[in-house]
Structure 1
């Protein structure tokens, strides 16, 4: 799917020639171990690098340059995967062959070089005003999670489930860690990212792969860094204790947020990974799944009910919006849906619909260059010859007995309820 070439030890280029798009898409990913302090510094750093640089000193100057390049898009992002923290620089520019001018790709490459290697420094440090502004921006992003009660409930459940672990660590770090950042420590984070991170560079578009590879090697002079596999940043091994935590918390709100976490030994690198994806789909991953049909539709017990498979941590999460006084009934009904899977109570239609929707999700992802990059960046850890058909064939091969077997490995670890304070007198 992608052509792989080594720029330096620990720095890898992946190119894909495709006439599918009229743009050329770049994605540079810096990967490091995930900690709260690192995540906070790197979240602020990503914002600062996107803001301006040594050549375009203000947001306005940088935006004008992007406009001059026929609306080239440039932005940074942060994310986590397992125990890995990622900073990504994404750039999309029009392919020169679709316009009269032939300078856009070349100048876009030079702009990428500037953003990475020539940040906006004042007297050898990041601009204090920009750092302060982007610290506020990241802090507001962290605080905004409090207003989204579903996200907040998930966050609090994970903090109770696995404190001080990558599982519960945000890709933005903590508010306290953000506040502790200075212009000096941010520069240290930048220098460490440039010198030490594992780097994956992606290019997708109607390109000359050899030519673009040569240009990137010249313009992005990354030095060699310790050679580590992507799997080097793994989460710690975790085994369920058998005891189920039960946590209730209250805020000023109306609808209760019921969140459950189930552990499973089947993670992303496990040979049964595809089987667990199908199992989650039948359990609660889609609108036809057991949780939706029985907890929400049939019993009308929840405003919403679904599950998700967090394969890099080996968890299945269930989320339901309920009236708080129905917590016990809702938990019982959720457990019953899992028991049904464990007993093999699975219909042909549930299997067919799950496989069809999984297939649709991966094929639709491939409709965009960015989707191709993101999917490949993850799945190349399993197989660098990965294609969409690889996954589709694995899902098609899953049987009802496989789902029953996978369900038997799923074990409840925590029940978390976030509800309104007015329910206190009813408990």
Structure 2
């Protein structure tokens, strides 16, 4: 799917030469171990790099130049996967082949160099006023989770299930860690990222592969770096089956339930667990949706998700607070049904079709191709749609039943209004 070239030790360039798109897309990913302190610094750093640099010292000047490059899009962001924190830079620009007279691609490549290696500095450090402004923006983003009750409930459940664990560390850090950032500490984080992070560079578009490799060697002069030791994620056995209820000023209750499974991303049983999750609550034909929401009318929404890098499965639902006990009972019944092998041909075939269609749809965009390949590239077998179609199609009802037996409930978290006194733990 992509051809890979090593630009330096720990720096990989992946190019997909294709006529599928009229744009050229770049994605640069810097990876390091995930910690709250580093996540906070790296998130503020992306905000600072996003809005100005040595050449374009104001956000307005920067945006104007991108507009002049036929609406080129350039942005920084952060994310996490397993125990890794990622700073990413995504760029999308028009392919020169579709312009009468232009050299946009070369200008964009030079801009990559400027955006990364020539930040807006004052006396050798980031500008204090800009750092403070972007710290405030990040702290507002972190605080906004509190106002989104579904996100807040999911955050609390994860913290309860996996305290002091990568699963519960936000890619943005915490308000407390962001507040400690100084221009000097941000510069240290920036230099460490450039010099020590493992880097993957992606290019998708109708480009001359050799010329692109040569050009990127010039504009992205990353040096050798050592692969850091990736800490293995270990299963954490929680004592018992915890129940937590919290109250805030709100009306709709948020019922979130967490389960653990020993099946992780890349394991032999991973495709089977994906099918299990799809039938359990991943889609509109799932048992949770059809029974909790449709049959019993207990929830405004009810679904499940599989956090495969952490071996966690989450059920999320929005309910009337007085339906809490009944909703938990019906959710439990759906897992028991799967454990008893109550799986229809239709549930199995629809789930397989949804997974296959989702994969194909993702590959219809340059960004989707990059993200899919980036996620699957380190598996033992080379990624292909045919291979994963075969993986899913070969899953049987018995396989799904076996997966359901590996799923253990660990925690129930219920967030509701202060006037409600119902307690499902009794």
Q: Where on the TM-score scale, by shorter chain, does this alignment land: which range?
A: over 0.9
Partner Cα separation in structure 2 for residue 289 and residue 400 of structure 1: 14
**How far off its partner does 1:46 sit?**
0.5
Give the structure 2 partner of residue 161 of structure 1: 161
**TM-score, length of structure 1 as denominator length:** 0.97
Deviations 1:244-285 (A, max 9, x none): 011100100001100011100000021110000000000000
Contact 1:302/1:323 (<8 A) preserved = yes
Give the direction of change, closer, same or farther, for the CA distance of 1:107–1:399 in structure 2 (3 Å limit): same
Give the structure 2 partner of residue 147 of structure 1: 147
Contact 1:276/1:406 (<8 A) preserved = yes
1:323 aligns with 2:315: no
Q: What secondary structure, in the 3-state scheme, does the structure 2 residue paired with 1:422 have?
A: coil
Partner Cα separation in structure 1 for residue 313 and residue 350 of structure 2: 20
Give the structure 2 partner of residue 190 of structure 1: 190
Partner Cα separation in structure 2 for residue 69 and residue 227 of structure 1: 36
Give the structure 2 partner of residue 270 of structure 1: 267
1:111 aligns with 2:111: yes
Structure 1 window deviating more from structure 2 (95-104 vs 414-423): it is 95-104
Partner Cα separation in structure 2 for residue 103 and residue 254 of structure 1: 56
Give the direction of change, closer, same or farther, for the CA distance of 1:56–1:384 in structure 2 (3 Å limit): farther
Give the structure 2 partner of residue 289 of structure 1: 286
Give the structure 2 partner of residue 136 of structure 1: 136
Counterpart of 2:338 (choices 333, 341, 366) is 341
**How far off its partner does 1:243 sit?**
0.6
Deviations 1:289-333 (A, max 9, x none): 000000000000111100000000001100011112222211111
**How far off its partner does 1:141 sit?**
0.5
Give the structure 1 partner of residue 366 of structure 2: 369
Contact 1:79/1:86 (<8 A) preserved = yes
Contact 2:322/2:422 (<8 A) preserved = no
Give the direction of change, closer, same or farther, for the CA distance of 1:383–1:107 in structure 2 (3 Å limit): farther
List 4+ stretches of structure 1 deviating above 6 A. none
1:332 aligns with 2:329: yes
Give the structure 1 partner of residue 234 of structure 2: 237
Give the structure 2 partner of residue 252 of structure 1: 249
CA RMSD after TM alignment: 1.2
Residues 93-104 of structure 1: pairs in structure 2 closer than 5 A:
93-104=93-104
**How far off its partner does 1:167 sit?**
0.6
> What is the number of equivalent residue pairs in this alignment?
424
Query: What are the ranges of 5 or more consecutive residues in structure 1 without an aligned counterpart?
Result: none
Counterpart of 1:308 (choices 278, 284, 305) is 305
Query: What are the ranges of 5 or more consecutive residues in structure 2 without an aligned counterpart?
Result: none
Q: What secondary structure, in the 3-state scheme, does the structure 2 residue paired with 1:203 have?
A: strand
